[in-house]
Amino acid sequence: MNTCPLCESDKNELLYTNSRGNKYLENYVCCNCGFVYTWPRISNQEVERLYSDGDFSKEARKSSVPDLAKFKQTEQYALERIHHLETKIPDFFSKVHSCVEIGCGAGSFLWLLKSRGQKVLGIEPDVDYVQVVKKRYKIPIETVMFQDYDNTELFDFICNFHVIEHIINPRAFVKEIYNRLKDEGFLYIECPTIDNIYTGSLDTFFWDVHVNTFSNNTLPWLLESEGFSIKEIFMNRGFVSIIAKKGTQVKFKSDDKDRIIGIVKSFAPKPKKISFSKRIETKIKNVIKSVLE
């Protein structure tokens, strides 16, 4: 049955049916909490296969292994994230000693943390990708899915960037992070938000591998409902970022279905109007051209 992955309500509305690559994809909005999610969900086994055998890296990371250009780009992003951490949590590096990144990709963020004296660990299921990363940065990476990482060690810091939108059960994912974090530890998370259609078009914003679409309300609300307290929420490169700790402070509510539908309506393509205005634009350009000539 089509139920919301966050609140389990079965009241929903079909929100949008196109996605990146012009693929038919059903995204629903939950009438109870405003969460946006794809239905039907793929199975956990399919997810594991997608991220382990290189298909995802080839499509989304543009290459089955990272090249120099990719490392340069991810190192720039990593520097920006370190900067956010240091400015928003000034005592971060004096409090934190062990860090794990779930879905560490090119590994640049962990490499920077390591250069600052941190003990680091990456979790990344794509074996081929990881081989190249290990060679460049000499950092330890476990090639498993996070839920299969069999270790009882607790960490001072757990981060994941552009991962939670891919997770079939995001609530279980957040619970797992909570259980593996020390009481005084920090969580740092970043993902796309429906509050900023970062591609500029819903037809590329929605994407079949993004099974969850959070908003600037549903992400902090989910974290709070699983025992986190939000220290900082901010936008970074058009994505929503949160730094959280364990705690009971509650500041965020779930989202409103009508607000979400409003966002999508304001972005929905209006093909006739566009082609009309394009024609006018071309006419005006031609008139100007002829006057200038």
Is residue 33 near Zn ion by the rule CB under 5 A? yes
74/217 with CB nearer Zn ion: 217
Contact status: 225 vs Zn ion (CB under 5 A): no
User: CA quadruple 124, 128, 131, 137: dihedral positive or negative?
Assistant: negative
Q: Does residue 222 interact with Zn ion by CB under 5 A?
A: no
CB of 171 to Zn ion, least distance (A): 10
DSSP label at residue 65 = S
What minimum distance in Å lies between the beta carbon of 251 and Zn ion? 19
Stretch 70-99: interaction string toward Zn ion, x if CB under 5 A: ------------------------------
Q: Which stretch binds Zn ion (CB under 5 A): 35-43, 77-85, 105-113, 238-246?
A: 35-43
d(CA 167, CA 210): 8
Contact between 36 and Zn ion per CB under 5 A: no
Q: Is the dihedral of CA 224, 162, 157, 8 positive or negative?
A: positive
Among 262, 257, 267, 251, which Cα is nearest to 4's?
257
Number of residues that bind Zn ion (CB under 5 A): 8
Q: Which of 148, 147, 156 is nearest to 176 (CA)?
A: 147
**CB-wise, 31 or 42, nearer to Zn ion?**
31
Site stretch for Zn ion (CB under 5 A), options 2-10, 123-131, 134-142, 164-172: 2-10
Decide whether 2 or 18 has the Cβ nearer to Zn ion. 2
Near Zn ion by CB under 5 A, which window of 24-32, 77-85, 225-233, 245-253?
A: 24-32
Residue 254 Cβ vs Zn ion, minimum distance, rounded to whole Å: 7
d(CA 2, CA 252): 25
Stretch that binds Zn ion, among 29-37, 46-54, 96-104, 161-169 (CB under 5 A): 29-37
Q: Is 35 in the site for Zn ion (CB under 5 A)?
A: yes
Return the closest-CA partner of residue 165 out of 144, 142, 194, 185.
194
Decide if residue 30 touches Zn ion (CB under 5 A).
Answer: yes
d(CA 115, CA 70): 20
Output the smallest distance, CB 184 to Zn ion, in A: 31
Q: Can you list the pairs that 47-53 forms with residues at least 24 positions away whose Cβ atoms lie under 8 Å?
A: 47/145, 47/166, 47/167, 47/168, 48/125, 48/145, 50/209, 51/125, 51/126, 51/145, 51/166, 52/125, 52/126, 52/127, 52/143, 52/145, 53/126
Q: In this chain, which of 2, 3, 18, 32 binds Zn ion, going by CB under 5 A?
A: 32
Chain centroid, CA 38 distance in Å: 15
Binding site for Zn ion (CB under 5 A): 4, 6-7, 9, 30, 32-33, 35
